[in-house]
Structure 1
Amino acid sequence: MSKSTISTFELFQMFPDQESARTYFEARRWPDGATCPACNEPERIGTRKGGFYRCNACLLDFTVRTGTIFERSKVPLHKWLYAMYLLVTARKGISSVQLHAQIGVTQKTAWFMLQRLREACGNDPTELVGTVEIDECYIGGKEAAKHESKRLKLGRGGVGKTAVIAGRERESGRVKAEVRDTVTGRNANGFTSRHVQAGSTIHTDESAIYNRVGGLLYKHERINHGAGEYVRGDVTTNGIESVFALLKRGLHGVYHHASPKHLHRYVGEFAFRLGDGDVSHHTMQRLERLFSAAIGRRITYAELIA
């Protein structure tokens, strides 16, 4: 492909209706023909009208939505595809108010759609490798802006906020992130072992939180912000700090508020957009990766509001 993106008009031309979007999703999910999502039967599959199939092995009736975040959604698939397009192309994200206006669904439905898509965004087990910058930030209202009766008397820093610890792979820009009540040495170590490949080089600031993230598995380089040091040779955490700056701009400027309960999904969305959804990939590749991540994931409205 000669360019890295497609316009909204081109997307509408490619997927003008439910049928064209269904055909697209089926080709991505089942390039060799429909396979039962329950028992993985590839051959004894009966075809019915409107994209319905029956597995003659386990008798499951299914569609391309089955076993994905789209399951039991009444929203046409071409509207889902457009919502996916907006999510991967809007650098700071898209709100349910914007989506509801653009695709003609209620704001409640738009919110549910976006939360389902965000659920898929956190579905990448690939470790970060090479030089990885790790840092933490705190998201939430400022204590000084609260009424005196609601302020937490616990000191400075992340008081009353939710912590996000994240790592950024310098070469690719891929990001992994987790939401925590607070960041400690123990969960910083756990984050590193879960998301960074052994043998990689880790760059952090001088915080005591990161005293033990190196160990025997990683090379650990530190930058001393307290001494006014931000770059020393190739040692820096500027990349991951720019990720946090973008995240905060999106949360405050687009979403205005993200509750601690759902914050991990918003963080996962930003991490996806900076990795598999990055603009260095063609828009159609980003859509394919998001759809692949949507397979095997499902969240209900009851689970979201519980």
Structure 2
Amino acid sequence: MDTSQSNIPFGPGKAYREGISLIELFEMFPDEDSAVKWFESLRWPDGERECPRCWSTRTSEVPNEKPMPYWCSDCRKYFSLKTGTAMERSKIPLRKWVIGIYLMTTSLKGVSSMKLRRDLDLSQSSAWFMAQRIREGWRVDQHALFDGPVEADEVYIGGRPRRKGQSKRGRGTDKVAVIGIWDRSTSTVHAEPAENLGKAYLHDFIRSRTWPDAPIYTDEWPGYKGVSPFHETVRHRANEYARGEVHVNTLEGFWSMLRRGFHGVYHHWSKKHMARYVREFSGRFNYREHDTEVQMQLIALGMVGRRSTYRDLVGKPETRLNR
């Protein structure tokens, strides 16, 4: 399957993108068969069914769809639309997967697994597992270099210390740092939990994602110093937040959305899974100018080849970040 997403049109712009109401969603997907056809049109856009194991097109349908709907004559194995995707071995109907993708696409601050459980009539563990697997669909090209100008900044996610008088803000707290970079030329953000905020780590993060001549804008944190000959800073401590084109305001807006999701929807994140939540918010931010159905299509395609098992997700050790 071609997952390049080249056959999906880009939305005409944020102000003119086409949304989908809940009523329209249920009209588009009135039953399981409509969801199956939607996934088929994405996975096999030319109408030729392909085995996800050996890529053969010598396949056939299986009577009664048992044990699976399709059979490959070359590798002699059964498969389904879910095989080779983040949905593999899930017993949740595809229609519920579509609705789950829609809910996570259109909720700017995210959707808790409790809400998915109620809305989709699932068990708590199934709803949580579904959400984690849908998050696999938001992808960022790790090898693409940004032309710039780029903004680089960091944020701290986590709760306040329980004892009064121990609250700290900013760098130096026991919260988890998230580093991000925003490319103005492509309107793309890439963010991930930071191992540390030392100069070596910050320089590697920025340089590995930008061309050498890209203008880089940051605040005055010493860890950014010397990252590039084209580096300029704003002095937040001197109440300077913009100097012409030099600012990190776009990333600050993204951080605000991330914080609102953490405090208002999730309330706590496992450190083990924090990268998944950050990827979700980054992906939703990057896809925001697409029409709603296009966003759903991109996520569904992004789930191909991204299988996660329940054991992988719940393995120890695990530490939670509390609100």
TM-score w.r.t. the length of structure 1 is 0.90
Q: Report if aligned partners of 1:173, 1:274 keep a CA contact under 8 Å in 2.
A: no
Moved over 3 A (4+): 122-129
What is the alpha-carbon distance in structure 1 between the residues aligned to residue 52 and residue 73 of structure 2?
13
Whether the 8 Å CA contact 1:162–1:182 is kept in 2: the answer is: no
Greater shift, 239-248 or 165-174, is seen at 165-174
Q: Deviations over 1:46-88 (max 9, x none)?
A: 2224472222111121111111111011110111111111111
Q: Contact 1:140–1:161 at 8 Å: present in 2 too? A: yes
Q: Is the 8 A contact 1:22 1:77 kept in 2?
A: yes
Over aligned residue pairs, what C-alpha RMSD do you find? 2.3
Report the Cα offset of residue 127 of structure 1: 4.0
1:303 and 2:312 matched:
yes
Q: CA deviation at 1:10?
A: 0.7
Distance 1:62 1:146 in 2: 54
TM-score by length of 2: 0.85
**Aligned counterpart, 2:286:** 275
Which position in structure 2 is the counterpart of 1:166? 180
C-alpha distance in structure 2 between counterparts of 1:114 and 1:194, whole Å:
30
Q: Which residue of 2 aligns with 1:72?
A: 89
User: Using the alignment, how far apart are the partners of 1:63 and 1:212 within structure 2?
Assistant: 52
In structure 2, runs of 5+ residues without a counterpart are 1-10, 316-323
Deviations 1:246-276 (A, max 9, x none): 1011001000111211111110000000002
Q: How does 1:1-306 map to 2 (within 5 A)?
A: 4-32=18-46, 33-41=48-56, 43-49=57-63, 50=65, 52-122=69-139, 124-125=141-142, 126-143=144-161, 145-146=162-163, 157-214=171-228, 219-276=230-287, 278=288, 280-306=289-315
Matches of 2:84 and 2:49 in 1, distance apart? 13
Q: Which amino acid letter does the alignment assign opposite residue 128 of structure 2? A: W
Give 3-state SS (helix, strand or coil) of 1:258's partner: strand
Q: 1-side partners of 2:100 and 2:128: how far apart?
A: 11
Displacement of 1:129: 3.3
Q: 1:226 to 1:147 in 2, by over 3 A?
A: closer
CA deviations over 1:144-163 (Å, ceiling 9, x no partner)? x3489xx79x9973421111
Name the SS of the counterpart of 1:236 in structure 2.
Answer: coil
| 2:59–2:73 CA contact under 8 A, matched in 1 | yes
Q: Distance in 2 between matches of 1:30 and 1:6?
A: 24
Deviation at 1:118, TM superposition (A): 1.4
Asked if structure 1 preserves the Cα contact closer than 8 Å seen for 2:156 and 2:176, the reply is yes
Q: 1:227 to 1:171 in 2, by over 3 A?
A: same
Which of structures 1 and 2 has the larger relative contact order (alpha carbons within 8 angstroms, sep 6+)? Answer: 2
Aligned partners of 1:137 and 1:40: how far apart in 2? Answer: 43
Q: CA deviation at 1:18?
A: 1.9
Kept after mapping to 2: 8 A contact 1:221/1:235: yes
Cα 1:62–1:28 change in 2 (3 A) is same
Between the aligned partners of 1:214 and 1:74, the Cα distance in structure 2 is 51
Give deviations 1:67-118, integer Å, cap 9, x for gaps: 1111011110111111111111101111011111111101211111111111
Task: Count residues with an aligned counterpart.
Answer: 296
Tell me what 2:320 maps to. Answer: none
Task: Mark the runs of 5 or more structure 1 residues left unpaired by the alignment.
Answer: none
Q: Does the C-alpha gap of structure 1 residues 156 and 101 become closer, same or farther in structure 2, counting only changes over 3 Å?
A: closer
CA contact (8 A) 2:140 2:283 kept: no
